[in-house]
A and B are shown apart, each in its own frame.
Chain A
Amino acid sequence: MDLGLSEEQEMLKKSARDFLQRECPKKLVRQLDESDEGYSSELWRKMAELGWMGLAFPEEYGGSGRNFLDLAILLEEMGYNIVPGPFFSTVVLGGLTILTAGNEEQKMRFLPKIARGEMILSLALTEPTASYDAASVNTKAIARNGEYVIKGTKLFVLNANVADYILCVARTRKTKDPEDGITVFLVDARSPGLKCTLLKTLARDKQCEVVFDDVTVLEKSIVGKRDEGWPIVKAILQKAAVAKCAEMVGGAQAALDRAVNYAKERVQFGRPIGSFQAIQHYCANMAMDVGGSRFVTYKAAWRVSEDLPAALDAAIAKAWVSEAYGRVALSAHQIFGAIGFTMDHDIHLYYRQAKAAEIIFGGADFHRAIVARELGL
């Protein structure tokens, strides 16, 4: 067993921490939260120069040839700092999907551009039913003259507002088995008939409504095989859930660090509030949540990285970390007291992130149901 980070991973972690502290201060985070685009092209370019977008792509596609676990470690740091923008949707939802399910032409066309920071991707999966099961995919793609015409409404689509291409999960055939007949398309976001509307959300992340109103795509834009897209979606969701956990672990660690620092400095009754047991015990519980979350996440990320079956570990991680981050963020708020309730303070940024991260890719109940299934209950 080896339960530590390699030297390379430690370096990645540290350099990411330093870079983000310098280049993505909370002032910028707030600006981006307020903006419609939700990302800074300058920061985006610098991240690409550091090789972050292509971190987990093989070198032949312009990447650095590192693995999913390395990406998870980077995401942990991004969660620690909070980095608004389409990194997650571009790299995890888009890039990794093309890498694992795309054909050679698609890989050559998309991955090097993603790695260079020249392309933003998004995944249009969920619909107004807001769930992650195959039966909820009702957006239709109808074959017509060697092309497909997509019609339907996608909801909670991350960063579609700035995406160049959108991976659209659509139904190409309806049979008794809802998992049959699903196809994944790569859709140019500027296609006629595609309309994107930004949603105002709790975490001010850029989730969108994307309406496909007879959007025409070519047959060659299918990722994988026609009607056999559901396993691709399942694989995306599993990776996304684990990657999101990594981000959450970082966020929870940040909330803990901030709360502990504050508890050491804030004086009431003539002593630092961190000397009171009530506060100490909050902090201990937070540390327990952060520590517990980190290693179930690493284990799941490692399994994904090694191409081992990861359904159980991914579900365990998402079920646990989703709620743990929420507890940590809430305790941090309690420790900061009234000042934490002000817009000027940073801690609410984490509180908001925690909820958004909990919900996306299935919440705790959703993943507990998977755990039950995996355990054969």
Chain B
Amino acid sequence: MDFTFNEQEEAFRKEVEDFINNELPADWVEKNTYWPAGYGTLAQFEELSPQVEQFTRRLAEKGWLAISWPKEYGGAGLSHTEQAIFHERMSYYRAPAGEVATLIGGPTVMLFGSEEMKKEWLPKIARGEIRFWLAYSEPNAGSDLSSIQTRAIEDGDDLIINGQKIWGTAAHVSHYAWMAVRTDPMAPPHKGISLVIVDNTSPGVTIRPLMNICGFHSFNEVFFDNVRVPKRNVIGEMNKGWYYLMVALDFERLVIPIGSFRRTFEEIVQYARETKHNGQVLSRQLLIRNKLVNIAIQIEIAYMFFWRTAWMLDRGLVPNIEASLLKLFTTELSQKLANTGMQVMGHYGQLESTSKWSSLQGRVCLGYLDCISALVGAGTSEIQRNIIAMRGLGLPPK
């Protein structure tokens, strides 16, 4: 065993660090209110200021938008461990480091798409020219995703789509829907689903904002009214979408914003060091110390899950239980971190960033709300536990 980075990994880590220091707008880390594993403020990443747009372009130039892709498709062709190092550093600085197209759509196209499809989509994605949003959930298909009803009917070379999607994160600032549709209503639920890429500007697409409890427009509900999509936008084979979707979920495994946990924790610790209560700094008070240490320990454990998952992927091992544990453990930690932040800050924790009295840019106030989403998105905590129990431990479904 060796818990240190090797020379190459160390050098790469430094390269990423230098890149961030040079390219990320100076005030970005402070201004960005991203809460670890939260969804509530994600749209900040997509609503790109010119400076951040520039940052994303520079990422693309280095091939880092598609960091794990082979070089022939415009990626950097790096190992999973290097990818993990990259995401750790980027998330530590709350930097935008990819979205649905680069992290989920692209890798899935690479595995299952036709040559023609790869040529059409991958370079554009790797260059950061197009962004996808995830069109999976529907009003009646949340955790039970295979029950989606949005229908796609074949019509010559096209599909005609009718239905409604919901929780489309950043759909309003993306270009295409990465979408699951029902193409065979007679088949068992998970055998009649196809994956297709749909242009947001197609006639019949209506995007309506959903304001989340953080006060951000991150989510959307999107209506599809006789939307015509060329069949060549279907990923792989028709009706095999569920299988692709399961594989696509694997690509999200290392996209845990692990560094942001450490960053936010450090900021809360700093606050505790600088803030006096009853004549003593908070960080010297036993109960506060205990709460902070509990978080510190769990961040260390989260990191271990993270590195271990990357290590397994690099060796061609399937991080079955480890990956689900990583998602479950980190999202629950997101909530604990918010609670601890609130407990440390007390009255000041409730102040939004706009108040002259606020501390830490009001991020704990926002995070206290945002952390709710971490345990719901991308498979609720309950679904994660089901997966761990059934797929990981082999417990029976019935």
Contact = CB atoms under 8 A, between A and B. Distances in A.
Contacts of B382: 277, 281
Contacts of B315: 4
A320 interface: yes
A372 B297 CA distance: 10
A3 B1 contact: yes
Chain B interface, DSSP helix/strand/loop, else mixed = helix
Interface string B285-304: 00001101110111011001
A271 B398 CA distance: 7
A291 B389 contact: no
Contacts of A302: 1-3
Chain A interface, DSSP helix/strand/loop, else mixed = helix
Nearest to A291: B325
B396 A272 contact: yes
A280 B321 CA distance: 14
A368 interface: yes
Contacts of B2: 1-2, 302
Given A3-B311, A277-B382, A303-B3, A375 B293 contact: yes
B352 interface: no
A13 to B, nearest CB: 13
Contact of B385 (A274, A285, A375, A377): A285
- Interface bracket on A: 35 or more
B386 A377 contact: no
Nearest to B273: A377
A368 B290 contact: yes
Interface string B264-277: 00000100110000
B223 interface: no
B297 A295 contact: no
Contacts of A69: 1
A316 B388 contact: no
B120 to A, nearest CB: 37
A319 B390 contact: no
Given A1-B2, A275-B396, A281 B389 contact: yes
Nearest to B392: A287
Interface string B1-21: 111111001000000000000
Nearest to B309: A3
Interface of A: 1-6, 69, 260, 263-264, 271-272, 274-275, 277, 279-281, 283-285, 287-288, 291-292, 295-296, 298-299, 302-303, 313, 316, 319-320, 365, 368-369, 371-372, 375, 377
Contacts of A6: 1
Contacts of A295: 301, 304-305, 308
Contact of B329 (A263, A277, A283, A292): A292
A292 B397 contact: no
A320 B304 CA distance: 13
Contact of A291 (B305, B307, B396): B305
Interface in B323-342: 325, 328-329
Given A264-B394, A271-B398, A274-B396, A284 B389 contact: yes
B31 interface: no
Given A1-B9, A69-B1, A377-B273, 8 more contacts: A3-B312, A274-B395, A280-B386, A283-B389, A284-B389, A287-B325, A292-B301, A320-B298
B149 to A, nearest CB: 25
Contacts of A303: 3
Contact of B1 (A4, A272, A280, A377): A4
Interface string B24-68: 000000000000000000000000000000000000000000000
Interface string B159-174: 0000000000000000
A368 B305 contact: no
A129 to B, nearest CB: 20
A260 B393 CA distance: 7
B83 interface: no
A264 B398 CA distance: 10
B224 to A, nearest CB: 34
Contact of A368 (B9, B294, B395): B294
Given A2-B1, A375-B293, A291 B322 contact: yes
A280 B6 CA distance: 39
Nearest to B306: A295
B71 interface: no
A377 B2 CA distance: 28
Contact of A275 (B283, B384, B393, B397): B397
B388 A288 contact: yes
Contact of A292 (B9, B296, B304): B304
A375 B289 CA distance: 10
A133 to B, nearest CB: 16
Contacts of B325: 287-288, 291-292
A1 B307 contact: yes
B284 interface: yes
A266 to B, nearest CB: 11
Contact of B297 (A263, A275, A284, A371): A371
Nearest to B285: A377
A215 B293 CA distance: 43
Contacts of B329: 288, 292
Contacts of B269: 375, 377
B283 A377 contact: yes
A298 B1 contact: yes
B395 A263 contact: yes
Contacts of A281: 382, 385-386, 389
Contact of B384 (A279, A284, A313): A284
Contacts of A4: 1, 311, 315
Interface in B232-271: 269
B146 interface: no
Interface in B107-138: none
Nearest to B304: A295
**Counting chain B CB atoms within 10 Å of each CB, which of A271, A291, A299 scores highest?**
A291
